[in-house]
Structure 1
Amino acid sequence: MGNGPGFVDVGALIRGARNAARLTQKALGALCGYSASAISRIESNQMRLDYSVAVRLAGVLGIPLDRLTHSSVPDARQIATVTIWPSDEEDAVRRRELLTGALAAGATAVMGAGPAAAATPDVQAAGLDDVLFHLPAAEPMAPARLAEQAAAARHAFRAARYTDLGHALPGLLATAEATREVSSGLARQQASGVLARAYVLAAELASKQHSDAAWVAADRALSAARASNMPVVIGEASRVLAITMRRSGQCSSAVHLLTREAADLDAGKHRTGAVRTTLLLTAAYSAATGGDRSTALGLLDQAQEDVERLPEVPGLFTVEATRAQVDIYRIGVHNALGTPDEGVKVAVAVDISQMATAERKARAWTDTARMWHALGNGPQTFAALRHVEREAPQEVRRPALRALTSSLLYGPARVQGVREFAIRTGALVA
């Protein structure tokens, strides 16, 4: 960037607004759906803002959008013509409202939540950091009882009851660890399988909240899975580790891990074939996130062939291998590739109501909301967000969903009902 008369130091502008709101880089990243390191690069002008990132940061920090877009978007003049806020007075009011929300949300992220916020899922994910390094004391448990506890935790995840899951995980992890330590032979392998799946759930929960605990949980999940010698469990653990890698920007490494593990699974058997399909889907999305269109679409087509050849397999641990799941991943892949228009036909045809779990339905509606938002369709974006709330009220409080809600609330077009929705879901404090 140059230093001419119109020069705006975007990094300094964002840093100043963040400090004024008393937000750490980690807290701001959580509100916007980014890592602390990404915020650091933005503030030091080492990472160029694209328009969608600018919208999120402007919404959370109360910075007029044109202050960011004039310096961060190549065709800023065209964008500015559709992002001018209605009036100076309304601009000030909306920014004050947003700053209030950012301050409250930031305080929660930095210092922890009070009693009223204790039921939100982000509190539970934040607590995983301590839990993973200091598991509570626990006694070994009979294998059948341990399997029941793991099944209950899995049910909480699939139902998108993340608070219940956050409460259950410390005891489950500790008990599974203790049980494995006193077991040997086949019993030890079985306990390792339960432990791996408990860590898979921990990684899933932490990933949803953009918590660094996801790295620790995913690594332990794969280690325990390999000790179990169960191909399905190894595949499940590989998937969450790859998701963590992708979120840190290691997209090509994630694709390599996933395709390698998929190649080791028997495509002809129902359960291993189904897990293989989920690995291919996650690899497709990881490739798309890294900008590799041909690999992403090729992996999607491969997964599609798998589900058409084999019967649908319900009851996988966290993700179903079904035709609808492939369709939803196709929408997400096109979102990541920057071609959301190519996902519209798929989104119109897929029946999300037929998906097996509340968590997967909510994720499907989230990808649909992102598609419509990228296409500039506010009413359709909001309709999809309302579906997320109906399917899984805790899902819509995730940082990424709150950021999407903020973008809709403080975007150029008004959508009726968004402000009330933002207050209800924690994106805005009344």
Structure 2
Amino acid sequence: MGVLSHAVCVLRTPHARPAWRRGGASSVASPCSRRAASVATQRQLGTVIRAARCAQRMTQAQLGRACGYSASAISRVEAGLLRPAEQPLLLIAEALDLPRDAIGVGRAATLAGDVTPDQEDAMLRRQLLVAGMAAAGASVLPARVASASRPDASAGIVGALYEPAASAPTSLPQLGRQLASARAQFTAARYADLGEALPTLLGTAQATREALSGRAREEAHACVARAWVLATELAVKAHADVAWPAADRALAAAQASGEPVVQGEAARVLAITMRRAGRPAAAVGLLRRTAGELSQGADMSRAVAATLLMTAAYTAACGRRRADALDLMTGAEDVVGRLGSTTGRPAGPLFTVDATSAQVDLYWIGVHTALGTPDEGVPYAARIAPGKLPTAERRARFGTDCARMWHHLGDHRRTLAALRFTEQVAPEEVRRPALRALTADLLYAPVTVPGVRELAARTGVS
């Protein structure tokens, strides 16, 4: 039996469960935006601490003993749910060999006189990003050692947002072909290729839109929106800060297009960025409203509505709102079950996701893991045939969600099998920051799993 076949069998085998914020108001931003920025910064801090701990080959319990925290408290810090007071934070920095300014301690003396709180938060997030890249870069080294990290596939989006290159318009059919090519790169999980293609696609799409009028301009708006949807999807996978502005551009263009399906696609990626910025309730509200507007339309509109409900369910689960999450998933399951009552399925594929029973099962895995009941996700994983999932990106998502599920269940062997499956179907996927952190957890776990070191070496974790 080959590695891929073996990994799929292991993935599908049921298994029993074993046991900062500063005060003061900003002159620019609202309290809500300040809270979102603070949450995003806190999560980035947790990522840096987790990566540095793994680099030092320390367990959470060992780090906790160094700073007076329990292992569970360190786990909450690394998840972005708890920000330590200054003294424990200094002890964490010392234990992990992290510079003080990289974790936001001792900033006041180094800030210029007229720095606003929002500018200070932005500066800190940049410092944390640099520290995180050093701690979890291509080679896992002590945090003071600079290391070259793998180029970020989403880096070109920044230029497309703020310094777009001059581009010539093209015809709508040609623009459609370019967009289809970029979508194919995304669904095939060729993220480096997509990152290289996106700046040109975005520039051409926007130039084409500006050269048109009437109905043709509305069609170009839809192409622009979908190009920004792809940019947002890529930025989300890279955990890049440009996801939010990219999603905002997508929604603005989608609304100008007048196409409900495109508006739903853009709302979905915007909600994902809202969740990651610490605004899950607002994200769920946006998804519910948009799904409600689409649910009365044709099959394609209702299919998009189903994907919005699934995304809303996962968002609610991340906020531990169990009743909402289960209700939303049940609603999505019902919509999918009633799709294509005469045609069998929507006419044509959706843009970046899917609305099928397998997709519903896939979301159930993620929802139960996020709710802290990963054992309830095992039956859903067991009944998915990953080879029948429509794209490499979706198959990689199956591997990712199974890896997280088994990791929460404490089964290191199946976690590794899921990561290896993901590597087989989409090699670039397993290099994402979240999966590299998961690989690092396995690498430095008290129990050694054969094959982890080799995976870590292949994916740049060690």
TM-score greater than 0.5 by the shorter chain: yes
Return the offset for 1:38: 2.3
Equivalent-residue separation in structure 2 for 1:365 and 1:133 (angstroms): 35
Equivalent-residue separation in structure 1 for 2:273 and 2:337 (angstroms): 29
1:282 aligns with 2:311: yes
- Match of 1:410? 444
- Match of 1:7? none
Q: Percent identity?
A: 50
Summarize deviations over 1:30-60 as a string: whole Å, max 9, x none: xxxx9544244x59xxxxxxxxx98665214
Question: 1:321 is matched with which residue: 355, 370, 376?
Answer: 355
Equivalent-residue separation in structure 2 for 1:336 and 1:69 (angstroms): 24
- Match of 1:38? 43
CA contact 2:134–2:145 (8 Å) conserved in 1: no
CA contact 2:189–2:428 (8 Å) conserved in 1: yes
- Match of 1:197? 226
CA contact 2:139–2:147 (8 Å) conserved in 1: no
Return the offset for 1:72: 3.9
Question: 1:350 is matched with which residue: 381, 384, 400?
Answer: 384
- Match of 1:183? 212
Q: Mapping of 1:181-260 within 5 angstroms?
A: 181-260=210-289
Amino acid at match of 1:58: R
Return the offset for 1:344: 0.9
CA contact 2:261–2:304 (8 Å) conserved in 1: yes
CA contact 2:134–2:147 (8 Å) conserved in 1: no
Any idea what SS the aligned residue of 2:154 has? Answer: helix
- Match of 2:410? 376
Any idea what SS the aligned residue of 2:153 has? Answer: helix
Return the offset for 1:101: 7.3
Equivalent-residue separation in structure 1 for 2:144 and 2:270 (angstroms): 26
1:427 aligns with 2:427: no
Return the offset for 1:270: 1.2
Cα separation, partners in 2 of 1:282 and 1:106, compared to 1, 3 Å: same
CA contact 1:267–1:276 (8 Å) conserved in 2: no
Equivalent-residue separation in structure 2 for 1:111 and 1:286 (angstroms): 36
CA contact 1:60–1:403 (8 Å) conserved in 2: no
1:137 aligns with 2:166: yes
Equivalent-residue separation in structure 1 for 2:263 and 2:417 (angstroms): 37
Amino acid at match of 1:390: Q
Q: Mapping of 1:13-32 within 5 angstroms?
A: none
CA contact 2:260–2:294 (8 Å) conserved in 1: yes
- Match of 1:29? none
Q: TM-score, normalised by structure 2?
A: 0.73
1:308 aligns with 2:337: yes
- Match of 1:65? 60
Structure with more of its chain in helix, by fraction: 1
1:159 aligns with 2:164: no
Cα separation, partners in 2 of 1:74 and 1:373, compared to 1, 3 Å: closer
Any idea what SS the aligned residue of 1:186 has? Answer: helix
CA contact 2:157–2:231 (8 Å) conserved in 1: yes
Cα separation, partners in 2 of 1:178 and 1:336, compared to 1, 3 Å: same
Equivalent-residue separation in structure 2 for 1:317 and 1:146 (angstroms): 16
Any idea what SS the aligned residue of 1:169 has? Answer: helix
Cα separation, partners in 2 of 1:260 and 1:417, compared to 1, 3 Å: same
CA contact 1:203–1:217 (8 Å) conserved in 2: yes
Equivalent-residue separation in structure 1 for 2:303 and 2:62 (angstroms): 48
Equivalent-residue separation in structure 2 for 1:280 and 1:381 (angstroms): 28
CA contact 1:288–1:337 (8 Å) conserved in 2: yes
Summarize deviations over 1:177-208 as a string: whole Å, max 9, x none: 11111111101100000000000000000000
Equivalent-residue separation in structure 1 for 2:289 and 2:178 (angstroms): 31
Equivalent-residue separation in structure 1 for 2:404 and 2:417 (angstroms): 11
Amino acid at match of 2:366: G
Equivalent-residue separation in structure 2 for 1:127 and 1:393 (angstroms): 21
CA contact 2:159–2:199 (8 Å) conserved in 1: no
Amino acid at match of 2:43: A
Return the offset for 1:361: 0.7
- Match of 1:262? 291
Cα separation, partners in 2 of 1:330 and 1:187, compared to 1, 3 Å: same
Return the offset for 1:110: 12
Q: TM-score, normalised by structure 1?
A: 0.78
1:363 aligns with 2:392: no
Amino acid at match of 1:125: S
